[in-house]
Every structure is written in structure tokens, then in C-alpha cells.
Chain A
Amino acid sequence: MAIAVFFFFAALAIVGGVGVVTFHQPIRSVLSLVVVMLSLSVMFLLLSAQFVFAVQIIVYAGAVMVLFLFVIALLGPARELGRGRLRFQASLSILFVLALFGVMYALIQGIEYRQPDQADLSFFGSVQSIAVGLFTTYLYPFELTSILLLVAAIGAIYLSRKRIDDL
């Protein structure tokens, strides 16, 4: 069952990823990305990361994607022209990216996995275990991310304000 679920959602994620890259209208790319994110959330569930699963659906597939859809609705449906200033950019970039994939594949094959101490899987990945890590050892980075979010919010408001000379 778990293997069938893995391969179904892995195929769905790859199809969605291809859709993100190949669709010409940005709105279709965004909807394909939602498919990828929902498939990845199932992967997180398979890896017993329940809290990351919930955050992935609420924050990513929910908030961030709605933000993208709003911006597309605001800017109107821009179609992409098939021209580029660099003639060989597409073919060269695919070549380099294939080389990158080869390196990553070799790295994955070469990993020597360490056998872990057996932890309790019913506790692992739950909200309690995340909170214990987040509010003890990693309290300082956690507070820093809240400052980062505040800075990002202020920056976004500043950038999208109405200019005085526009009025």
C-alpha cells in the first residue's frame, strides 16, 4: 500500500513539475505547482512528518499559492514570447542541468547511511516533538525567523505602496 501511494504521488509530482516548466500561461504553472505541493505533502506524511505535512498544506498550498494567484490576477494574463537574447541558452541550460542531475544521482548512490538509534515513531514528527526542538535548542533561530517575517511584511508593504507622485 505504502509503495503504491509513493509511486502514484511521485509520478503526480513529476508530472506537475513538468507542467510548471512547460505551460505557457503563468496561471497553469501555478496550478501545476499546487499539484506538486499536495503530492509532496503526501510524501511528508509517508515520512511520518505530520506537522510539516499540515504546514505544507496550510502555508504553501494555501497561503503562498493564493498570493501567486492574486498577483497573476492583478497583472493580467501575460503570455510568454518564445524569444531570447541568448540563442543557445535553452539547449545549454538543459545540458548543464542534466550534468547537475548526474552529479546528484551519483551522490545519492554514494551515500553511506548511518543506522539510527531506534526512536519512537509514534512520537517522531508529532507536534510535541517539533515543539520540544523549536522551543529549546532552536529557540534563537525560531525567534529570528519571526523577525524575518516581520521585515518581509514591512518590505512588501513599502514596495507596493501608492507613490505620492502617482496621485
Chain B
Amino acid sequence: MSTLSIGGQQLDASWFLLLSAILFVLGAVGVLVRRNPLVILICIELMLNAANLALVTFSRQLQNIEGQLFALMSMTVAAAEAVVGLAILVDIFRARDVEDVDDLSELKG
């Protein structure tokens, strides 16, 4: 167990990691269970955020700035992913009304 001294109080690093794991698992449930493609993108964002929390926690525990730098890079990648994913989604919705990802199971234009 490793305690972080924050504002004069001791917080355990594994609490932050546990919160990160819970949020990641919630996002994974959403990706697997939900049918709306937009909500699946939202759940992927939730998982990326959970991963960022783990990165920043380890960065603070090791007092090494590289974890925070990597979290910033992953935020950039998440923003690019959201932009391209939403553009593809808008393009699909323009062609036809999709309310279920399984409606898009064929590889035809």
C-alpha cells in the first residue's frame, strides 16, 4: 500500500486506481450492452477518461511527470477519435436511419 499525502491527509493511491477500474468497467459494459452507436462512442470516452485517471495517479505516486504527459497525449487522441467517429456517424445517419449498431452489419455501400 502506498499513501499519498494530499493537503496534509493520507490518501491511498489504490483508491484512485480502484475508481479508475470501476469507471473503465462501466464504460466497457456500456460498449457491450448499448445499441445506439452514439452512446457507444460516449462510453468509449468514459473508458479513455478512466485510463487517464490511472496514468495521472501513477504519475503522482512515482512523482514522475511522464504519466501526465501521456495523459495529455491520450486526451488529444480521444478528441481526434471523437471528431472522426462523430463525422462517420453523421454520414451514416444521412444515408439512413440507424437506431441499432446491428443494422450496420453488412459491408455494402
Q: Which of under 10, 10 to 19, 20 to 34, or 35 or more describes the interface residues of A? A: 35 or more
Bitwise, A123-144 to B at CB < 8 A (1) or not (0) is 0110001101110001001100
- How far is A67 from B83 in the complex, measured between Cα atoms in Å? 8
Are A10 and B15 within 8 A (Cβ)? yes
Bitwise, A111-133 to B at CB < 8 A (1) or not (0) is 10111111101001100011011
Are A148 and B77 within 8 A (Cβ)? yes
Contact of A81 with B99 at beta-carbon distance under 8 Å, contacts A20-B46, A33-B46 already known: yes
Bitwise, A15-28 to B at CB < 8 A (1) or not (0) is 00110110000100
Which residues of A sit under 8 angstroms from B38, Cβ to Cβ?
A: 26, 68, 71-72, 75, 78
From the candidates A113, A141, A152, name the one contacting B61 in the complex (CB within 8 A): A113
Residues of chain A having any CB pair with chain B under 8 Å: 1-3, 6, 10, 13-14, 17-18, 20-21, 26, 29-30, 33, 36-37, 40, 43-44, 46-49, 51-52, 55-56, 59-60, 63-64, 67-68, 71-72, 74-75, 78-81, 83-85, 89-90, 93-94, 96-98, 100-101, 104-105, 108-109, 111, 113-119, 121, 124-125, 129-130, 132-134, 138, 141-142, 145, 148-149, 151-153, 155-156, 159-160
